[in-house]
Amino acid sequence: MNILTNLEFSVVEALRSIRRSGLMSLVAIGIVTISLTVFGIFLLFAINLGNMVSFMGTRLDIVAYVDRDLNQDSAQILETAISQIPGVDKVNYIPKDQAWKTFREEFGAKLDIADVVKENPLPNAFAVRVRTPDILPRVAEQVARFSDVSEVRYSGKLIKQIQNLVDAVRIGGAVLSILLFFATLLIVVNTIRLTVLARETDIYIMRLVGATNSFIRWPFVIEGILMGILGGILGVIILRFSYDAVLLRVKSALPFLPVVADSGLLTFVYVCIGISGVMLGMLGGYISVSRILKEKG
């Protein structure tokens, strides 16, 4: 067997076939593009929500504000006491000056707080990190019991809600992606099946002169792969440009929102889309020709 000659034959046949069924091939490629784009949107959405949850998980621990006149020694004792509460991971003392500095750094760019508020309005605080989000309320309650603690804040409820949303998006996205996958597969299969029917004589002759089933199948599988690759590339292009555009807007409108801009992760998403396209096409090509091979087998 001469693998190169065979591959060349298959590719030439696949291209011939795509060209011949022109419009239908374009429709199939378009639908692959749409499906993969939707799949990609879900993927990006899920990744961003997940990112937001982990971001909030690290930033929004329990914050315990203490009385303004607490001295250094009492603060030390309070810190030790809080750190001994079960479930507490670590406790950080945040002097009010530092908190003010951080606050101004984060929001200073957007609004000039120093113009409005001259004095530091913030109290000293402890940042208490707990090990898991579900024990937040209990720990918060225990921290609040210390007489030197004036106020306790935590956003466990918000995290929980976002976590629920993330789960819903993941499950919904997965279900929708699977449905889309099968719908798209069906269209790819039917498109290639048209070319299979158009080439029935070719297939008949191929079988007659002793081509193996796998040899007959290759051109159709490659036809599917080519459609999948084209659909995948188009999908990635659409996703890339629209994501970059969204990223730009979100960054200027909601600068504190943690949007994923990590190029490695995004590349991974795009590669996933591309691979899905190839798989989709490959499977479509394989299935489309299987029935005719089985019938005559």
Partner 1 sequence: MIDLKNISKVYANGVEALFDINLHIGKEEFVFIVGPSGAGKTTIMKMLYREELPTSGQVIVDRVNVTELTAEQVPYLRRNIGVVFQDYKLLPRRTVYENVAFALQVTGAPRSQIRRHTMQALELVGMLKRASSFPEELSGGEKQRVCIARAIVNNPPLLLADEPTGNLDPQTTFEIMELLDKINRRNTTVITSTHNKSIVDIMKRRVIQLESGRVIRDQQLGMYHSK
Contact between 146 and partner 1 per CB under 8 A = no
Query: Taking CB under 8 A as the rule, does residue 215 contact partner 1?
Result: yes
Among 96, 129, 170, 207, binds partner 1 (CB under 8 A): 207
Whole-angstrom distance, CA of residue 123 vs CA of residue 228: 59
Strand order of the β-sheet with 149-153 is 88-94, 125-130, 62-66, 149-153
Query: Least CB distance from residue 220 to partner 1, whole Å?
Result: 14
Q: Exactly one of 6, 76, 102, 164 binds partner 1 (CB under 8 A); which one?
A: 6
d(CA 249, CA 243): 10
β strands within 34-134, DSSP E = 62-66, 88-94, 125-130
With CB under 8 A as the contact rule, the residue among 32, 188, 216, 222 that binds partner 1 is: 216
CB 88 within 8 A of CB 82: yes
Please state the closest distance from residue 219 (CB atom) to partner 1, in A: 10
H/E run at residue 117: none
Q: Which is nearer to partner 1, 140 or 203 (by Cβ)?
A: 203
Exactly one of 15, 26, 211, 278 binds partner 1 (CB under 8 A); which one? 211
- Partners of 181 in beta bridges: none
CA 275 to CA 212: how far, in whole Å? 28
Q: Which of residues 175-204 bind partner 1 (CB under 8 A)?
A: 201-202, 204
The whole-angstrom separation of Cα 105 and Cα 140 is: 27
**Of the two residues 64 and 216, which places its CB atom closer to partner 1 in the complex?**
216
Instruction: Tell me, residue by residue from 14 to 43, as one string, x for binding to partner 1 by CB under 8 A and - for no binding.
Output: --x---------------------------
Three-class SS of residue 130? Answer: strand
Stretch that binds partner 1, among 5-13, 137-145, 243-251, 264-272 (CB under 8 A): 5-13
Q: Can residue 264 be called a binding residue for partner 1 (CB under 8 A)? A: no
> Which residue from 51, 98, 150, 213 is in contact with partner 1, where contact means CB under 8 A?
213
The SS3 assignment for 217 reads helix
Taking CB under 8 A as the criterion, the residue among 72, 209, 252, 256 binding partner 1 is: 209
Q: CB of residue 14 vs partner 1: minimum separation in angstroms?
A: 14
Grouping H, G, I as helix, E, B as strand and the rest as coil, residue 262 is coil
Shortest Å distance, C-beta 5 to partner 1: 5
Burial 88-105 (b: 16+ CB within 10 A, else e): beebebbebeebbeeebe
Residue type, 197: L
- Residue 201 token pair: 């004589």
CB closer to partner 1, 118 vs 294: 294
49, 227 in Cβ contact below 8 A?
Answer: no
Query: What x/- string results for residues 55 through 94 when contact with partner 1 is judged by CB under 8 A?
Result: ----------------------------------------
Residue 189 or residue 203: which is nearer to partner 1 going by CB? Answer: 203
By CB under 8 A, tell whether 292 contacts partner 1. Answer: no
Separation CA 130–CA 86 (nearest Å): 9
Residues that bind partner 1 (CB under 8 A): 1-2, 5-6, 9, 16, 201-202, 204-213, 215-216, 297
